[in-house]
Amino acid sequence: MKKVMLVGKNGQVGRELAQRLIANKFDVLALDRQELDIAQGADVMRQVLEFNPNFIVNCAAYTAVDRAESEVEAAYQGNELGPKNLALAANECGAVLLHLSTDYVFSGTKEGSYLELDPVAPNSVYGASKLAGEKAIAESCRQHIILRTAWVFGAQGNNFVKTMLRLGRERDSLGVVDDQRGGPTYAGDIAAAIITIIQGIPLETFKGWGVYHFSGYPYVSWCGFASSIFAEAEKQGLLNSSPILTPLSSEQYPTPAERPKNSCLDGHKITQVFGVEPSNWSGALKQLANYSE
């Protein structure tokens, strides 16, 4: 039986993954921040060596994208130092580290979807801190999988889908950014992809360590995604009518942190290596009743 240590069990992906790991009969140690602060290197090393896992999955991160512009140290503690501590501990006990990263490592100026080997150039402190974490892992742990994803949503936690459902009940009209495109990614699909990766790695012979992309398809703008959310909510009787949507430019909706205008991640590599298909975000919206707060 494979032993899996899950860090960040209370996040959107962490909650979904914890359920699936247990259902798939893994020997699981799932931890939240109160149980393990990954920025504390000695604590990380002690817990990892005590449990001696085959896999460590890091779903913990500093994710307050706009606050990171002023909370730089906290962002790097969570997104660089923490992953580095996990990588050092994984390397010490011979475990595989599977780490979640983000489309924000890219500038968003490329034409077409981003490949794993495309040049990185983050626009924000959040993106820069996540990139620093990727580099720290690559330097500290040979057996690593860095899984970049984008636009995560699900029934747990705060996300765009739940915000749109709330605003759809409160407003008759709504402006949503339309010049940023990406692949909305259902948290449950990320969890399922991680399970597939864990089950598909032959530890003695695997050589495909490194970066993989996994996100939703088809690509869509935030405004287009909102339109799909409202249409599905009406169909399911969660909204009497959809608000009128006004497409906005990024300049019309300024935020402290600059978002990539192109967050489209190419997922061919993960399909070729592990057989994982892109997240079916449209299918995930069929369960909108579970998202309502």
User: So which residues are the catalytic ones?
Assistant: 126
Instruction: Using DSSP, state whether 58 is helix, strand or coil.
Output: strand
Alpha-carbon gap, residue 179 to 116, rounded angstroms:
23
Given a contact cutoff of 8 angstroms between Cβ atoms, the answer to whether 137 and 83 are in contact is: yes
Q: How far is CA 155 from CA 4, 118, 145, 283, 284, in A?
A: 24, 32, 26, 14, 10
Eight-class DSSP state of 65: T
In terms of residues, how long is the chain? 293
Eight-class DSSP state of 113: P
Which one, of 65, 91, 90, lies nearest residue 78 by Cα? 65
Burial category of 116 from C-beta neighbours within 10 Å (exposed 0-12, middle 13-18, buried 19 and up): middle
Element (H, E) at 176: strand 173-177
Eight-class DSSP state of 287: G
Instruction: Using DSSP, state whether 216 is helix, strand or coil.
Output: strand
Burial category of 272 from C-beta neighbours within 10 Å (exposed 0-12, middle 13-18, buried 19 and up): exposed
Alpha-carbon gap, residue 202 to 270, rounded angstroms:
16
> What does the block give as tokens for 266?
């190419």
Which one, of 216, 241, 232, lies nearest residue 287 by Cα? 232
Alpha-carbon gap, residue 287 to 162, rounded angstroms:
12
